[in-house]
A = this chain, B = another copy of it.
Amino acid sequence: MSEPRSSAGGDDAALAIICGGGSLPFALADAAARRGRRVVLFALRGWADPERVAAYPHYWSWMGQLGRFMRIATREGCREVVFIGSVGRPSLWQIRPDLRVLRMLPRIIRLFRGGDDHLQSGVGRIFEEHGFRLLGPQDVAPELLMPRGPIGACVPNKRDRADISRGLALLQATSPFDIGQAVVVADNQVLAVEGPEGTDQTLARVAQLRHNGRIRTPAGVGVLVKAAKLGQDHRIDLPSIGPHTVDGAQAAALAGIAVVAESTVVAEPERIAAAADRANIFVVGVNADGTVP
Q: Contact check, A196 vs B213: say whether CB atoms are below 8 A apart.
A: no
Q: Contacts of A114 on B, CB cut-off 8 Å?
A: 188-189
Cα–Cα distance between A174 and B169 once the two chains are bound (Å): 10
Q: Contacts of A113 on B, CB cut-off 8 Å?
A: 187-188
Cα–Cα distance between A89 and B212 once the two chains are bound (Å): 11
Report the interface size for chain A: residues with CB under 8 A from the other chain: 37
Q: Contact check, A88 vs B216: say whether CB atoms are below 8 A apart.
A: no
Q: How many copies does the complex hold?
A: 2
Q: Contact check, A179 vs B193: say whether CB atoms are below 8 A apart.
A: yes
A31 at the interface (CB under 8 A from B): no
Q: Contacts of A209 on B, CB cut-off 8 Å?
A: 195-197
Q: Contact check, A216 vs B177: say whether CB atoms are below 8 A apart.
A: no
Cα–Cα distance between A281 and B166 once the two chains are bound (Å): 37
What 1/0 mask marks residues of chain A from 169 to 208 whose CB sits below 8 Å from any chain B CB? 1100110111100000001111111011100000001001
- Name 15 A/B residue pairs within 8 A (Cβ), A-sorted: A89-B214, A89-B216, A91-B213, A112-B216, A115-B188, A115-B190, A173-B173, A178-B189, A189-B196, A190-B195, A193-B195, A195-B205, A196-B209, A197-B209, A205-B205
